[in-house]
A and B are shown apart, each in its own frame.
Chain A
Amino acid sequence: MIKKFKKVISIIVCVLLSIAMLGGCGGGAGKTAGDEGTKASAGETKAEQTQEQPKDKFKGVKINALLEGHPTSNALKQLEAEFEKETGIDLNLEIVPYNELPQKALLGFSQKSDRYDVIFNDRVYMPGYVENDYIIPLDDFVKNDEINKYCDLNDFVEQYLNACKYKDKLYGLPVYGESTFLMYRKDLFEEYGIKVPQTMDEMVEAAKTVKEKSNGKIYGITLRGQQGIHAVYIWAGFLWGFGGRWFDENGRLDIATPEAIKATEYYVNLLTNYGPPGFSNFGWQENRLAFQQGNAAMTFDATVNGAYNEDPKESSIVGKVGYAPVPTGTDKLQGGQCSLAVHGLYISKFSKNPEAAFMFASWATGKDVQTKSLNIEANCGISSKSAMESEEFNQKYGSFKDGMLEAIKNGNVDYLPSVPQSSEIIEKVGTALSQCLAGTKTPKDALTEVNEDINKNVLKK
């Protein structure tokens, strides 16, 4: 009896062990190889610090990068082999959807895991990463001649580079940037005799005219209204445009002001009266599609939309689009009304090979790679000035390049809240906006409530 029992147990144990090996390999292989590589490189880098041979310096070092699903990431995947040949660094690129990236990064950081060396993320998360000591400043690396061969800070668009600084230290290398501008149908404006709106009043008038003169067939304007970051991103343009702001001098949330309420009422009315149906579900893609299929006469959204408007494969309005700065609602602006969104590459504090990580980050954002990426996939949000001067860029994106550059120049780096709790603030404000758009709450009530809630429970001020 006991013998049989032991037999059963030993069978189970054998099965479990074999599963362990099966389960481990395929997935765990990466981890074990990484450990070996790490130990080897630690010895090597110290010994060879005096020599200037990047190729041998990091040979065999494994760098893991957590990247957003993004054209730049796709380009990097294609150019991986080149980097490995040049530096001997073994790259492992993991591409994850934008929504799921912060949780993967943060879970790892909170456990002080060295799983990822480089993170590609929105700068909205940067203050949180810095305040919690998850990422390291790059200033020293930039000055280190042994590893800065790909790094040229002057090549970056200044505003992007500044956005990657926090408390006077540089934490990230910008890999993607955008601003916002107003896009309008030149042909329709001409037909209906509308002039390009410069104020909010003019914009709503223009929308009204389009709706009337096209007998309701073409919508005046289309905007994102999807709950969450999408609505907030567009609404922030109205917030700043009407003279509002996110935080007051004491760091308290300040979006229950008359200006903010006016901005929200304007946003809600504009969409409800002149927007296409289903706007409350419009994320970036839906909004872009609505405009480029010719359903609306205006939209205000990311500068990168220009690339899609002018792409004959996707758009039915090629060549008919004009680009202008986002209108304002008042003269007393507290900050720019167009955005400055930047995504950067950051280096984890727990990385065992920060220098090799920096080499990768600087290579990935270097002018070479950025120029090449233009040919791999539509990608006009690049951050390298020289790449923007290249022929490929001007050929593809020349028609709206000026509008884009102007918007970037005036971009407001505080367009979205940049505090550690940004994510929560954006989610809660997004929910409030969704309720306003659905009509279940008035802007005044919704904003007052969410302002109080965030100050009390989130910022604790």
Chain B
Amino acid sequence: MVDANNAQNAVLMNNPGRKKSKIHLYFLLPSLITIIVIMIVPFFYSLYITLHNANLLENGGRFTFNGLGNFISFFQDERALNAIAVTLKFVLGAVALEALLGIAISLFLDRNFKGKSIVRSILIVPMFMTPVVTGLVWRTFYDPTAGILNFILGVLGLGNRYDWLGNTFSALPSIIMVDVWQWTPFMVLLFMASLDSISGDIYEAAYVAGASEFQLIKYVKLPLLVPTVFIAIVLRMIDCIKAFDIIYVMTKGGPGLATETINMYAYTVGFNFFRIGYATTIAFVFTFCITTLLSFIVSKLLNRVNTN
């Protein structure tokens, strides 16, 4: 594609009578203006709020200047630290599982069979189900007495009294499971498409060389999947970090603080304690860190992909 772009530029440059116009700006303008107007104003207002004490239950909701007070509180806040830890556990756990399962399932499905496109259509379903509804459905599955999961385990003789969402050890994994259910198909579809694009010649060569299925996977498919996997992981992480709906609907951060991610904590501080200034600060610091981290990763990634 880089070539194509250069070629296009060549066309533009070499075409006499064609001004080297900034036409692209006009095309970009609507989007940029929209983003700037809708995003920038609230963004700076948010920043403004982080420098103030804004508690809806104090002072009639008026803002009082607080300087960096909110930020200082944040770095001394144990609960925020815990929230960061939980968020990391959640994101890493979910995305890693999704990637692994995605690779496994896509490799499994990488063959010609009747109904392959129907399978793809079915796999789309979890991704499009409303997260709020997904959370509620899984919450009933996890119910200790009336839930399907315990029932199935009971039938299999594995005991059936587990309190999945009420136990500090199983709560976060249970929620990770829901995210995995919803987003593994994303990985699967992505990887399947990538595997589909492997040209037939390579398979011919492998066949001729007498490679086994296993060797094929190890030396051909996996390496070719790697760039896609990286990018899928990055894309997924961005969304996973913001996960809110399923946690809100399933545990609201409990039991104790076992499933309280940064996003959930910010919500609690903002809409339960009504300390909006501090809540905005939490979200702000968090966004800043993630954006920095991400730009670092993405630039590294793009280099890798381009060299590949």
Please list the residues of chain A having a beta carbon within 8 angstroms of any beta carbon in chain B. 5, 12, 102-103, 106-107, 109-111, 128, 131-134, 226-228, 276-281, 420-421, 423-424, 427, 431, 434-435, 437-438, 440-441
Q: How far is the CA of A268 from the CA of B255 in the complex (A)?
A: 15
Interface mask (B54-72 → A, CB under 8 Å = 1, otherwise 0):
0011111100000000000
* Contact in complex: A281, B166 (CB < 8 Å): yes
- Known contacts A12-B30, A132-B57, A423-B273, A278 near B145 by CB under 8 Å: yes
Closest to B160 in A: A277
A149 to chain B, nearest CB (A): 33
Residue ID in chain A nearest B260 by CB atoms: A431
B256 at the binding interface (Cβ < 8 Å): yes
* Nearest A residue to B267, CB-CB: A103
Contact among A106, A434, A438 for B61, CB-based, below 8 A: A106
**Residues of B bordering A, CB below 8 Å:** 26, 30, 56-61, 143-145, 161, 163, 165-168, 252, 254-257, 268, 271-275
Kindly list chain A residues whose C-beta atoms are within 8 Å of the C-beta of B143: 278, 281
A424 to B60: give the CA distance in the assembly, Å: 17
Q: Chain A residues near B59: list those with CB within 8 A.
A: 132
Dominant SS among interface residues on chain A: helix
The 8 Å CB contact of B256, one of A103, A110, A440, is A440
A280 touches B60 (CB 8 A): no
A442 and B28 alpha carbons, distance in the complex (Å): 60
- Identify 17 residue pairs between A and B in the complex whose beta-carbon atoms are under 8 Å apart, listed by A's number: A102-B274, A110-B60, A132-B57, A132-B58, A132-B60, A228-B254, A277-B144, A277-B161, A280-B166, A280-B167, A420-B58, A421-B273, A427-B273, A431-B254, A434-B255, A435-B256, A438-B256
Bound-state CA distance A133–B30 (Å) is 44
- Describe B's contact surface by its main secondary structure: loop
* Residue of A whose beta carbon sits closest to that of B26: A5
**Minimum Cβ distance to chain A for residue B38 (Å):** 12
Which of A132, A420, A440 contacts B168, CB < 8 Å?
A440
A-B contact count (CB 8 A): 87
List, in ascending order, chain A residues with CB within 8 A of B145's CB.
Answer: 276-278
Shortest distance from the beta carbon of A23 to any chain B beta carbon, whole Å: 14
Q: Is the CB of A106 within 8 A of B57?
A: yes
Closest residue of chain A to B62 (Cβ to Cβ) is A110
Q: Residue on A with the closest CB to B272?
A: A427
Which residues on A sit within 8 Å (CB–CB) of B144?
Answer: 277-278, 281
In the complex, are the beta carbons of B57 and A434 less than 8 A apart? no
The residue that A103 contacts in the complex, of B60, B165, B271, with Cβ under 8 A, is B271
Which B residues lie within 8 Å of A278 (CB)?
Answer: 143-145, 163, 166
CA distance in complex: A436, B262 (Å)? 23
A423 touching B272 by the CB < 8 A rule? yes
Would A434 and B273 count as touching, CB distance under 8 A? no
Residue contact A227 to B272, C-beta cutoff 8 Å: no
Give bound CA distance, A440 to B255, whole Å: 10
CA distance A106 to B145 in the complex (A): 38
| A133, A281, A421: the one within 8 Å of B60 (CB) | A133
* Chain A residues, Cβ within 8 Å of B58: 132, 420
Contacts of B166 in A (CB 8 A): 278-281, 438
Distance of A278 Cα from B171 Cα, bound (Å): 12
A residues less than 8 Å from B257 (CB atoms): 431, 435
Which of A102, A227, A427 is in CB contact (< 8 Å) with B255?
A227
In the complex, residue of chain B having the shortest beta-carbon distance to the beta carbon of A281: B166
Give the CA-CA distance A147 to B60 in the complex, in Å.
29
Let me know if A427 and B268 touch, CB within 8 A.
Answer: yes
Q: Complex formed: what's the CA distance from A110 to B277 in Å?
A: 13
**Distance in angstroms between the alpha carbons of A437 and B256 in the assembled complex:** 9
Chain A residues with CB under 8 Å of B167's CB are 280, 438
The 5 lowest CB-CB distance pairs between A and B, nearest first, are A110-B61, A278-B144, A280-B166, A227-B254, A424-B273
Residue from the set A110, A427, A435, A440 with the largest chain B CB neighbour count within 10 Å? A110
Cα–Cα, bound, A107→B57 (Å)? 10
Contact B61 A109 (CB under 8 A): yes
Residues of B within 8 A of A128 (CB): 57
Question: In the assembled complex, which residues on chain B have CB atoms less than 8 Å from the CB atom of A276?
Answer: 145
- Cα distance, A420 to B55, chains bound together (Å): 11
Smallest Cβ-Cβ distance to A441: which chain B residue = B256
